[in-house]
Amino acid sequence: MNYKKINNLLGWICAAVATIVYVMTVERTVSWWDCGEFIASAFKMQIVHQPGAPLFLMVENVFSNLAMGDVTKIAFWMNIGSAVCSGLTILFLFWTITALARKVFVGNDRHAALTPQQFFLTMASGAVGALAYAFTDTFWFSAVEAEVYAMSSLCTAVVFWAILKWETHADEPQADKWLILIAYVMGLSIGVHLLNLLVIPAIALVIYFRKTKQSTSAGILKALGIGVVVLGFILWGVIQFSIKIAAYFDLFFVNTLGFGFGWGAAVFAVLVIAGIVYGILYSLRKAKPLLNIALISTAFIILGYSSFAMIMIRAKADPTLNNSDPDNAFSFLSYLNREQYGDEPLFKGRFFDARPTGVEDGKKVYRKDGDKYVVAKRNPVYTYDKETLFPRIYSDKGGHPDYYREYLGLGPNESPTFADNLKFFFGYQIGHMYGRYFLWNFAGRQNDQQGHGSFTEGNWISGIKPIDNMLVGGQNSLPTSAKTDPSRNTYFFLPLILGLLGAFWHFGRKQRDAGVVGLLFFFTGIAIVLYLNQTPLQPRERDYAYAGSFYAFSIWIGLGVLAIADFLIKKANAKAAGYVAAAAGVLAGPVILIAQNYDDHNRSEKMLARDMAKNYLESCAPNAILFSYGDNDTYPLWYVQEVEGFRTDVRVVNLSLLSADWYMRQMMEKVNEANALPIGINPELIKDGVRDVIYYQDYNIPNHVPIKDLINVMLSDNPQNKAQLQSGEFVNLLPTKKMELPVDKQAVLANKVVPKEWESAVVDTMRWTYSLNYVSRAELSMLAILANNNWKRPVYFTITTPEENYMGLDRFLVSEGFAYRLMPVDFGLKEGDPSSVENVDQTYTNVMNKFSWGNIGQASYVDPDSYRYISMYVGTIFGQTAQQLLSAGEQEKAKKLVVNAYENMPKRAYLMSEVMSYVPLLDVMYKVGESAKANEIAKRNLDFIRENMAYYEAVSETKSNLEYRNMRFGLASIQRYKQLFDEVNQPALKKQSDELFHVYQHYFEQQGQ
């Protein structure tokens, strides 16, 4: 048989099968999270968040051309780019598995022939392992969206396959070309994601085993050490320190020699190239092959890494999306080092309850200033009263300390110990943030709700009831919503068992190769856990970071076929054993995975990320300023404006970026059809290191102060307007939180800021209490906009922007759908009350004529990032608006609105909070004569409450606060539905709600209700 030809053919068939499935299930438009930013940036060659992915952007830009000018198809074709990369990953995985399987039979002799039985098993193992990985939860998720992880997986697959090719040809002339290919792909992969570099230690072990006749423990450790050194050389030497040295060359050439910016970096680049060329020539003259291959590999790594030139080139062009503005050596260095995100302590650090005992000046931060580099500031370095080696419980942000205490069982004033540190590491970081993800892929998944430790959310399960009962409990009380949840995937441990059989068999038959795969498994799994040092309460699941580890395990899934065959050969003839082993592998791997995972990985019906972005923009009047905050607010907005050209008159402003000097400067420039923001502040007064944060100090000023005066004080360089610190430094302060803005009523009326019927409610002066204890550039910009805008441009906040970002302006914010509009009106709300004012007519018009709902009412699967919005849609957009229309006597409009809700919202319930949010909408449905539709929804929701409350009780023995949270939502829902059916004439449903209330009455009595 022609091994090479059939091996190639079957590999391409597996790749084609995977790619076809991915194309069938790929998202047709933009996805949530970073995808919107990547697609918008790839389309126009713009700068994404640190540390960038320039090669990924350039490749995706090529795929965008397949849209043939149809901007609504660009996201689809970029998603196809990920599908193609993922399909190619399966190709190289197939070849990797067959190469390892073949080695078991004939070693590295590529001319040796396999027996027909060996040949069949080799091909079967490749197909089973490759297709099993193709349909795993994590890999499939990344395969159908325009994110970096699909292309990163391809780089990993190519590199690991290439080292096996080198191993086979190592004794032949020019075999080292495979090592050079590896170096080049690694250099390229830096322009996608750094995960590929973690293959290096495994590569070092392959080289050691191939070049050493007799391996020893000391030799293995030495090889691993060299691999880690090479990894460090690329990660820090090539990626960071080369740019750092270039930056300091530039500093010398600019500040000392008087050259222009970039000259020093260019000279350094020339010196590096010249040094490598000289070294290569020297290695040839002196016949030093090891030096030669090391220098050539370094040259190819740097050549691949040169894709980052795109970042600086495009930054100098100042595109619309220009994150961090890395247009000079030092800003580029900061960009690569991810300084925007800070550092996590790895070897030594604080406990979460530690208090600072001192602060010292850290490293200098340089900025470009005129024709020189100047020191903008020094990063502070703090010392603490309680520090530890290997810090794992260190964060004092958000709710992290409370979570640490709950997870570790610590009292309010109890100090953590090193044992607690290790408990969190093994239990949470290893168990919850890696082991759980690993078992999602090879044992099963409870649901797609994000899990923070609750027994009803996001755990791994198997489908074997006794085991699942021990894990999460309540299997006998499992609600229908859980049983029919598309994201409930049960594999009965079959892929896991197959992989474990393959691993044990591999270690028994080919220990060196198994050790290499094991090292790949470790470095792309547990080593990442060690490096990331993740805090709790992550905003999203992070399983995508460990796809390389699941890739390595899938190699063993493939080899599991050989393990089964090896066992069966002792019981039956070889041919029958091979067929049975292959069939078992196919069923336990690819078949069960695609069967279970297809429904919740089919994104072909999803459109909500795009539609939500359009809804935000459609909530805004022309030429508006729209403040957003989170990734899922902002990135889809960037996509629809930059790619589809939708409502480019609206200026989107991300508040979490606005505190950066570069972003504030960019907001003072015109982009697309949107004019510059009326900030009107000299950029010199807010550049990096100057007024990064202005703190509040109460000067006991009795009256409200105009914000223009406060801005002048905060921007003043006059020492009389500053406070002097103990160090002698003068700093600006916010002297009062009592703010006011005089209102030009004529401008308000002329610009139609408020509805005509509200004109009498326009105030002469807006007065409020500032809600924060500091003023960053973000708040300074917003205050400046208020002071200078004079109501010429409408000002909005997305409805999902956290209230603390309103600066205390809550009572002047009016809902017009998916955005709150700032209006100078007073309806008697007290300061501090939540905003409940709604421009009902405008909201109704937007809902009925402008808004779209991403097909969530018809889609067979709705993902968690989408169904989290349903409570807001049902409770706020539809329910609250319908209630106000009814109160205003607009019964016909209210009826149309609730019918719209019925037609567009999902026909199943997802969360208890969503079920509770339906009550105001149902109330209106009954009152406008839509009782049949209301009954349908109410019955569904009551069934959901009854079944899920029984489930919560079944798992509540854990006494987890997270379970009590679900119980609280359930109890509140029971109470609200009981109140509803006490008021409307629906005897059957009233009976159900009364029965529910009676079952759980003891909980209400405990709460004193």
Position of tokens 């090719």?
A: 165
Position of tokens 């007799």?
A: 214
Tens-place pLDDT, residues 730-788? 899 999 999 999 999 999 999 999 999 999 899 999 999 999 999 999 999 999 999 99
* pLDDT over 60 (residue 831): no
Non-local CB neighbours of 10 within 8 Å, separated by 6+ positions: 94, 123, 126, 127
Yes or no: say if 632 and 606 are a contact pair by the CB < 8 Å rule.
Answer: no
Tens-place pLDDT, residues 386-395? 999 999 999 9
Is 103 a member of any domain?
Answer: yes
pLDDT at 445: 95
pLDDT at 380: 87
Yes or no: say if 503 and 556 are a contact pair by the CB < 8 Å rule.
Answer: yes
Reported pTM? 0.93
Could you say which of 370, 390, 416 is where a domain stops?
416
Task: Compute the distance between CA of residue 300 and CA of residue 293 in angstroms, rounded to an integer.
Answer: 10
Position of tokens 């441990």?
A: 493
Is 182 a member of any domain?
Answer: yes
Q: Are residues 73 and 221 located together in one domain of the fold?
A: yes
Task: Compute the distance between CA of residue 844 and CA of residue 127 in angstroms, rounded to an integer.
Answer: 55
Q: How confident is the model at residue 959 (pLDDT cuts 50, 70, 90)?
A: very low
The total of other beta-carbon atoms located within 10 Å of residue 1003's CB is: 17
Position of tokens 């992290």?
A: 400
Yes or no: say if 997 and 979 are a contact pair by the CB < 8 Å rule.
Answer: no
Among the residues of 135-216, which ranges form H helices?
137-143, 148-169, 177-190, 200-211
Q: How confident is the model at residue 82 (pLDDT cuts 50, 70, 90)?
A: very high
Q: How confident is the model at residue 726 (pLDDT cuts 50, 70, 90)?
A: confident
Q: Quick one: what percent of the chain has pLDDT higher than 70?
A: 98
pLDDT at 968: 82
Non-local CB neighbours of 913 within 8 Å, separated by 6+ positions: 871, 969
* pLDDT over 60 (residue 629): yes
Assigned token pair, 238: 């090539």
* pLDDT over 70 (residue 1007): no
The total of other beta-carbon atoms located within 10 Å of residue 220's CB is: 18
CA–CA distances in Å: residue 504 to residues 106, 228, 464, 562, 782: 19, 26, 24, 11, 62
Task: Compute the distance between CA of residue 296 and CA of residue 282 in angstroms, rounded to an integer.
Answer: 12
Task: Compute the distance between CA of residue 966 and CA of residue 972 in angstroms, rounded to an integer.
Answer: 10
Task: Compute the distance between CA of residue 742 and CA of residue 755 in angstroms, rounded to an integer.
Answer: 20
Is 186 a member of any domain?
Answer: yes
pLDDT at 338: 84
Tens-place pLDDT, residues 261-271? 999 999 999 99
Residue 340 is classified by DSSP as G
Q: What is the phi/psi pair of residue 349, to 5°? A: -175, -175
CA–CA distances in Å: residue 228 to residues 427, 788, 808: 27, 56, 52
Task: Compute the distance between CA of residue 178 and CA of residue 184 in angstroms, rounded to an integer.
Answer: 10
Position of tokens 């000392």?
A: 256
* pLDDT over 70 (residue 113): yes
pLDDT at 964: 65
Is 466 a member of any domain?
Answer: no
Yes or no: say if 204 and 223 are a contact pair by the CB < 8 Å rule.
Answer: yes
Task: Annotate 417-452 with DSSP letters as a single string.
Answer: -HHHHHHHIIIIIIIIIIIHHHHHHHTEES-SSPPS
Assigned token pair, 894: 């209210």
What is the length of the chain? 1009
Tens-place pLDDT, residues 370-384? 899 999 988 888 889
Helix (H, G, I), strand (E, B) or coil at 510: coil
* pLDDT over 80 (residue 1009): no
Task: Compute the distance between CA of residue 559 and CA of residue 507 in angstroms, rounded to an integer.
Answer: 11
Tens-place pLDDT, residues 185-234? 999 999 999 999 999 999 999 999 998 888 899 999 999 999 999 999 99
The total number of structural domains that make up the chain: 2
Task: Compute the distance between CA of residue 27 and CA of residue 74 in angstroms, rounded to an integer.
Answer: 12
Q: Are residues 219 and 116 located together in one domain of the fold?
A: yes
Could you say which of 366, 398, 416 is where a domain stops?
416
Task: Compute the distance between CA of residue 446 and CA of residue 460 in angstroms, rounded to an integer.
Answer: 6
- Amino acid letter, residue 118: Q
Q: Are residues 373 and 281 located together in one domain of the fold?
A: no
Is 546 a member of any domain?
Answer: yes
Is 195 a member of any domain?
Answer: yes
Question: Which residues, listed in sequence order, are joined to residue 367 by a DSSP beta bridge?
Answer: 374
* pLDDT over 80 (residue 868): yes
Is 768 a member of any domain?
Answer: no
**What beta strand segments (E) does 174-300 contain?**
none
Q: Are residues 80 and 220 located together in one domain of the fold?
A: yes
**What beta strand segments (E) does 743-825 contain?**
765-769, 774-776, 795-798, 813-815, 819-822
Q: Are residues 255 and 388 located together in one domain of the fold?
A: no
Assigned token pair, 258: 């008087």
pLDDT at 454: 77
3-state secondary structure 539-567: CCCCHHHHHHHHHHHHHHHHHHHHHHHHH
Q: Are residues 299 and 372 located together in one domain of the fold?
A: no
Task: Compute the distance between CA of residue 448 and CA of residue 406 in angstroms, rounded to an integer.
Answer: 23
Is 459 a member of any domain?
Answer: no
Q: Are residues 508 and 397 located together in one domain of the fold?
A: no
* pLDDT over 80 (residue 834): no
Task: Compute the distance between CA of residue 613 and CA of residue 634 in angstroms, rounded to an integer.
Answer: 8
pLDDT at 561: 97
Average pLDDT, whole number, for the chain?
Answer: 92
Could you say which of 556, 579, 601 is where a domain stops?
601
The packing angle between helices 592-601 and 3-25, to 10°, is: 30
Q: Are residues 157 and 26 located together in one domain of the fold?
A: yes
Tens-place pLDDT, residues 437-462? 999 999 999 999 987 777 888 899 99
pLDDT at 1005: 66
Q: Are residues 532 and 595 located together in one domain of the fold?
A: yes
What's the whole-number mean pLDDT along residues 84-91? 98
Assigned token pair, 375: 């020191």
Task: Compute the distance between CA of residue 727 and CA of residue 183 in angstroms, rounded to an integer.
Answer: 51
Q: How confident is the model at residue 835 (pLDDT cuts 50, 70, 90)?
A: low
Residue 813 is classified by DSSP as E
Q: Are residues 291 and 412 located together in one domain of the fold?
A: no
Please give the residue range of the domain that contains residue 359. Answer: 343-416
Assigned token pair, 966: 């679900």
Q: Are residues 47 and 158 located together in one domain of the fold?
A: yes
- Amino acid letter, residue 580: V
Non-local CB neighbours of 770 within 8 Å, separated by 6+ positions: 696, 734, 737, 738, 739, 807, 808
Angle at 190 (CA atoms; ends 185, 195), nearest 5 degrees = 90
Tens-place pLDDT, residues 163-190? 999 999 988 888 999 999 999 999 999 9
Assigned token pair, 408: 């570790």
Q: Are residues 291 and 397 located together in one domain of the fold?
A: no
Residue 23 is classified by DSSP as H
- Amino acid letter, residue 523: F
Closest by Cα among 305, 400, 385 to 344: 400
Task: Compute the distance between CA of residue 554 and CA of residue 136 in angstroms, rounded to an integer.
Answer: 9
